[in-house]
Chain A
Amino acid sequence: MTDASAAALWLGSLELVGALVFASAGLLDMCARRRSAAVRRQIWALAIAVALVLPLPRLALAASGLRLPDGLAAGLLAVWAIGATSLLVRLVRGHALARRRALEGAPMVAGPWHETALEFAGGPRVELRACASARTPMVVGIWQPIVVVPAAMLEAPPAERRALLAHELAHVARGDCLMALAGGLARAIYWPDPLAWWALRRLRAHAEDAADDAALRTGIPSSSYAAQLVAVARAQLERAGRVAADGLRARVRGVLDVRRIRSREPGELRWGVPRLIGAALVLATMVTACEARSAEEPGAGGASRRASERRVAE
């Protein structure tokens, strides 16, 4: 078998198993619909981590007995590589651009925002920057996170300021920037699979909901916080003439829903990155072992059948 054919088949089976992982996460997420957003976010974080480490144990799998025509195999590999590369470039460029814009903002080392940030004792250490070009508060950076505050929000009342900071600090505490990067990487690898795109969107949606829960824990009335979310979207619509839905409707409904189970403090719930990778490796190895076993069984059955046929003939 040629290298191109083997590589295309290996990649194809990886995409299929990846789809299975994302579909399982979707099913689990549906079953966990009455759980907090933080729990549901963890389901997708684990699925994405499994998808990312999945290629490692699969390197040990025996090559498939199938064979693709060389031209077809090379063509499939080229299409996949073009898609994956363009998504990776977009991912890296997006992160770099966001970081550059954040660094252009003015550091806030004093004043009400700085003082409010200090009130979150035991919270993650972050840098605060005021940025004129930012339209919404956001966190940028993985190892040295920066909370970007739009200049237009600098005069926000204390309750809103505290809620906004609680939201962004919850993203930092849960490592949402790292997970968004991991999700983007998984999407680049599994891009032919629509479930990979869906996985990233579900991860982001649940991460936002979990951070909203953290904001509500500051005691701000849910209607005030929801109004804040809508005000940011309205300002964006006025300024740019368009605003992406980005799940705003679902977020507002979630914030106003009194029956919704709220996420706990990020510190209590968070899985450390090493634990997440460890769990993902174990699961990926188990999935690969099951696959290897199911691939062996027909051969083993055939071998024993042939042996018994030989015995009958003798």
Chain B
Amino acid sequence: MTRRKPDLDPLSRRERQIMDIVYRRGQATIREVLDELPDPPTYSAVRALVKVLEDKGHLRHTQDGPTYVYAPTRPRDRVATSALAHVVDTFFGGSASDAVAALLDLDGRELSREELDELGAMIEQARKEGR
């Protein structure tokens, strides 16, 4: 399986809380986020965090009069996949098949001729690269 990098930068705990709020509401202003955050920081701190999320590509804003309204850039299921990809990348070097094999240790099965051919091709490639 090919390496899959997460599309977006990973989130801190606070950033994830903000994203949860925005996803739950569909869209939110800074004030609405602040109202729902547990143990809320200052208004300026939330605004700075939202700006970071915007820079990372998780949020985009539209203007409603003088107020900025923030909405997620991607549907939640894609973000969940990306977060899983981040875990896979962190612990297993980006290979989901390695992740599953390492966690469940399922490699007790039999090898097919095609899989051996695939390994042969991998070795041939390595040989060409001088390994």
Q: Which residues of A are at the interface with B, using a C-beta cutoff of 8 A? A: 30, 33, 198, 201-202, 205, 221-224, 226-227, 230, 233-234, 237, 242-250, 252-253, 256, 258
Contacts and interface: CB of A to CB of B under 8 A. Distances in A.
B120 A201 contact: no
B122 interface: yes
Contacts of A244: 108-111
Given A230-B116, A237-B113, A249-B119, A223 B131 contact: yes
B43 interface: no
A237 B113 CA distance: 8
A234 B116 contact: yes
A226 B120 CA distance: 9
Interface string B70-93: 000000000000000000000110
Given A202-B105, A221-B131, A237-B116, A226 B123 contact: yes
Contacts, number: 71
Interface string B29-40: 000000000000
Nearest to B110: A242
B127 A249 contact: no
A169 to B, nearest CB: 24
Interface residues of B, number: 22
Q: Is the interface of B mostly helix, strand, loop or mixed?
A: helix
A258 B108 contact: no
A244 B116 CA distance: 12
6 contacts: A226-B119, A226-B122, A243-B116, A245-B107, A249-B119, A250-B98
B64 interface: no
A30 to B, nearest CB: 6
Contacts of B101: 250
A33 B89 CA distance: 12
Contacts of B108: 201, 244-246
A198 to B, nearest CB: 5
Nearest to B128: A223
A232 B75 CA distance: 48
B110 A33 contact: no
A243 B119 CA distance: 14
Given A227-B127, A252-B122, A252-B123, 12 more contacts: A221-B127, A223-B127, A226-B119, A226-B122, A226-B126, A230-B120, A244-B109, A245-B111, A247-B107, A256-B122, A256-B123, A256-B126
A246 B91 contact: no
Interface in B22-68: none
A60 B112 CA distance: 52
Given A244-B111, A245-B110, A245-B111, A252 B105 contact: no
B116 A223 contact: no
A222 B131 contact: yes
Contacts of A205: 105
A154 to B, nearest CB: 23
Contacts of B92: 33
B105 A245 contact: no
Contact of A233 (B98, B109, B111, B127): B111
